[in-house]
A and B are shown apart, each in its own frame.
Chain A
Amino acid sequence: MVEWFFGYLAGAVILLSILVVLSRNPVHSVLWMLLMFLHVAGLYLLLNAEFLAATQVIVYAGAILVLFLFVVMLLNLKEELRIKRFTGGWPFRLLIAAGILIILKKVLDGFKVGFKGPWSIEAIEQATHTKALGKVLFTEYILPFEIASLILLVAIIGAVFLAKKRLRT
């Protein structure tokens, strides 16, 4: 049963990501991406990562993609639809992507799971998932967490600075 769910979600994710790359209109691209993010959230649910699934839906699908859609609709895309979709050397670039895929497959074939950590499903179930995540995030990873907040602050300032109108001096 779980295998069928996984098959559906994986097939949808791959198909939708190909559609994102191939569609001519950026608006369609963003909408396919939205659907793909929802399917990825479904995959996270299958992997017992429900907090991450919620984060995926809220932050990725709800915030980042709406930002993308907003910008796409701000810009005038009439003449963009008429130019060629791909660069000239696309078969070569397809070859590069396929080569990377083959290398990844070779690496995956030799991969073995190492020794297991302390957070088995029962342990997470006992502590509840959000609490378990918070315990790890706010003790072991507190410094990276603060640095992430700094990155977001820099991004806010940079975005405001870049997108504002230049003042005539």
Chain B
Amino acid sequence: MVPLYWYLWLGSVVFAVGIFGFLTRRNIIIMFLSIELMLNGVNISLVALSHYMQDLRGQILVFFVIAVAAAEAAIGLAIIIAMFRNKATLHADEIAEMKG
């Protein structure tokens, strides 16, 4: 039997890797993928807790996370396409028009 601690630790490691990617990479697509990594780290923790606490609510929450991730991917990729059409770049630091 694998201890719950290992699953939670795995989820935190994946979450931290996602944070590192989001902070360091400036390619917008990879920043989006880092967000997905963070969501997956949380999902792993939720499913593990759901299994070890014998409660299905964790898995229901994972459903909602997946639904929100799908919505976020659709909107985010539409924004990327609109941005690429206007600026022809994927580099996040080159889009600074909103900066005062």
Contact = CB atoms under 8 A, between A and B. Distances in A.
Instruction: Tell whether A pairs with B.
Output: yes
Interface of A: 2-3, 6, 10, 13-14, 17-18, 20-21, 26, 29-30, 33, 36-37, 40, 43-44, 46-49, 51-52, 55-56, 59-60, 63-64, 67-68, 71-72, 74-77, 80, 83, 85-87, 90, 93-94, 96-98, 100-101, 104-105, 108, 111, 113-114, 116-121, 123-124, 132-133, 136-137, 140-141, 144, 148, 151-152, 154-156, 158-163
Contacts of A163: 78, 81-82
Interface residues of B, number: 71
B56 A52 contact: no
Question: A interface, by DSSP: helix, strand, loop or mixed?
Answer: helix
Interface of B: 1-2, 4-10, 12-21, 23-27, 29-30, 32-34, 36-37, 40, 43-44, 47-48, 50-57, 59-60, 62-64, 66-75, 77-82, 84, 88-91, 93
B45 to A, nearest CB: 10
